[in-house]
Amino acid sequence: MPRTLIRNASVVFPGDGLRSASGEVRTANILIGDGKILDIDASDTAGCDELIDAAGRHLLPGVIDDQVHFREPGLTHKEDLASASHACAAGGVTSFLEMPNTKPPAITLEGVRAKEQLAAEKSLVNYGFYIGATPDNVSELANAVDVPGIKIFIGSSTGNLLVDEQEALERIFAETTLPICSHCEDETTVRANTERYRGTTDIADHSRIRDEKAAMIATQRATNLARRHRHRFHVLHVSTAAELVYLQDPSPYLTAEVCPHHLFFNVDDYPRLGSRIQMNPSIKTSADNEGLWKALQDDVIQVIATDHAPHTLDEKSQPYPSSPSGLPAVENSLALMLNQVHEGKVNLVQVAHWMSDAPARVWGMTGKGRIAEGYDADLVLVDLNESRTILDKKQHTKNRWSPWHGETMTGWPVRTIVGGQTVWSAENGFDESARGGKPRFDHSRGGYWATAGGIGE
């Protein structure tokens, strides 16, 4: 492969994690070749086949989105791996980890491998796929290898992906070794609230049905399982400040994430945005927004991921409760955070940690998440001064809409590099010949709390 020299970039180094505050931003020349970062302090005259002048721009490790629903196979009228990976590339996302609730669901290793083959043929960026838990597939989960982890739906699912019985959950935590993640909403509480609000057409009732209590009960239940079984567990899309009480005691077994919609939207936005912000778990209050931001700052929550889950606008426009839950976000998540940098609320080291370094460490993705010699050349070049307005018609997801339609952000990706190859640039668009690859998952490293110095090869 040709060598590329990225010269005069302001390079963002995540450091050893938020608590040590050892990250930095400094001007450097980055030499890449054979899909790897060869030198982080290369000479201005280093031999290369391609020279990228990055003066005035910042270079970050590519975003790793560890929670997406790209709908293939079975629901490709909503999204597919090709359209979703284009959205990723335009948004600075160089790797995604996709959930198992497709049709058919990925509940066997054979099903996971089939999805990997589809991605190898279609995806511009790197890909990984969770294996889904059911009440009856513990042996399949126990024998699964070379996947990011196990996904459990503790509530909020249909068919055999719902795992709500305590005996089944105990077996999964006791008899498997892969890290586990879960959607935490208590099914009993949600069903009782659904009956209480039967007949409602008020979209705001979605947050009353999927309330704080539902989230708290399920998160307490799951984190208790993780602590008792000493099993690594990642709480997906934390939506309430109340849940944080179960995450605040440092544990080598627990990590958590938050999504942009739970950071930026709350119940006061329903009159303006309606079902565009209908999600599971539901949007909560402004006080929850504040609590989740603080948890990120305090390393109680480690990861930002999107839970990208698109539906067509026709589907979303159905009257509640017929409208489905889910929204697209992969191509705007980095810009949302860069805009927070512009407003002085966070810094670039934090953004690189939350969106790149931390998810790589949680899921054992070797050579990912940092700009360091020997790491994979998965990079995103951003312009912190560029302002763009998010518009439905300019989205690359198949359904071409965004809940942030009409909002202007300052700070945008201008070039996305996957394995040393530019897959998208603002100047030239997409390289349709590019294809991502499957990361290597090494769970023996011990996850987030055991890899403060990164997770190199």
- pLDDT band (50, 70, 90) for residue 351: very high
Question: What CATH number did the domain enclosing 15 receive?
Answer: 2.30.40.10
Q: What is the pLDDT of residue 186?
A: 94
Predicted confidence (pLDDT) per residue in 4-41, tens digit: 999 999 999 977 665 545 789 999 999 999 999 999 99
Alpha-carbon distance of 414 to 58, in angstroms, equals 10
Q: Say whether both 229 and 274 belong to one domain.
A: yes
Percent of the chain predicted with pLDDT > 70: 97
Predicted confidence (pLDDT) per residue in 410-447, tens digit: 999 999 999 999 999 999 999 999 999 999 999 999 99
Q: Say whether both 293 and 422 belong to one domain.
A: no
Range of the domain at 404: 4-59+372-430
Q: Assess contact for 79 and 34: CB atoms under 8 A.
A: no
Q: For residue 417, what are the CA distances in angstroms to 5, 33, 41, 125, 382?
A: 12, 12, 19, 9, 12
Alpha-carbon distance of 336 to 338, in angstroms, equals 6
Q: Which amino acid is at 1?
A: M
Q: Say whether both 349 and 425 belong to one domain.
A: no
**Which pair of tokens denotes residue 400?**
């071409």
Q: What is the pLDDT of residue 249?
A: 83
Residue 289 predicted with pLDDT over 70 = yes
Q: Is residue 444 part of a domain?
A: no
CA 290 distance to own-chain centroid = 20
**Which pair of tokens denotes residue 163?**
């795992």
- pLDDT band (50, 70, 90) for residue 345: very high
Query: Across residues 87-113, what is the average pLDDT?
Result: 98
Q: Is residue 17 part of a domain?
A: yes
Q: Is residue 342 part of a domain?
A: yes
**Which pair of tokens denotes residue 311?**
């539906």
Q: Is residue 314 part of a domain?
A: yes
Please identify, among 366, 389, 411, the residue that sits at the C-terminal boundary of a domain: 366
Q: Is residue 94 part of a domain?
A: yes
Q: What is the pLDDT of residue 73?
A: 97
Tell me, yes or no, if 34 is annotated catalytic.
no
Percent of the chain predicted with pLDDT > 90: 93
Q: Which long-range contacts (CB under 8 A, 24 or more apart) does 400-404 make?
A: 401/276, 401/313, 401/316, 401/328, 402/327, 402/328, 402/329, 402/332, 403/261, 403/265, 403/273, 403/276, 403/277, 403/327, 403/329, 404/264, 404/332, 404/336
Q: How far apart are the first and last CA of the chain?
A: 20
**Residue 193 CB neighbour total at 10 angstroms:** 18
Please identify, among 313, 347, 366, the residue that sits at the C-terminal boundary of a domain: 366
Q: Say whether both 166 and 99 belong to one domain.
A: yes
Rg (CA), the chain: 21
Alpha-carbon distance of 265 to 96, in angstroms, equals 23
Q: Which of 399, 336, 317 is nearest to 87 (CA)?
A: 399
Q: Say whether both 244 and 392 belong to one domain.
A: no
Q: Say whether both 278 and 299 belong to one domain.
A: yes
In the set 80, 307, 357, 376, the catalytic residue is 307
Please identify, among 366, 382, 406, the residue that sits at the C-terminal boundary of a domain: 366
Q: Assess contact for 197 and 205: CB atoms under 8 A.
A: yes
Q: Say whether both 86 and 40 belong to one domain.
A: no
Q: Is residue 109 part of a domain?
A: yes
Q: Say whether both 354 and 409 belong to one domain.
A: no
Q: Is residue 171 left, alpha or beta, with left meaning phi > 0 and alpha meaning psi from -120 to 50?
A: alpha
Residue 398 predicted with pLDDT over 60 = yes
**How many distinct structural domains can be found in the chain?**
2
Q: Say whether both 202 and 346 belong to one domain.
A: yes
Q: Say whether both 160 and 258 belong to one domain.
A: yes
Q: Is residue 450 part of a domain?
A: no
Residue 368 predicted with pLDDT over 90 = yes
Q: Is residue 438 part of a domain?
A: no
Q: Say whether both 55 and 173 belong to one domain.
A: no
Q: Say whether both 46 and 80 belong to one domain.
A: no
Among all chains, which residue has been given the structure tokens 């996957």? 418
* pTM of the predicted structure, to 2 decimals: 0.97
Question: What CATH number did the domain enclosing 345 receive?
Answer: 3.20.20.140
DSSP per-residue codes, 74-112? T-TTT--HHHHHHHHHHHTEEEEEE-S-SSS---SHHHH
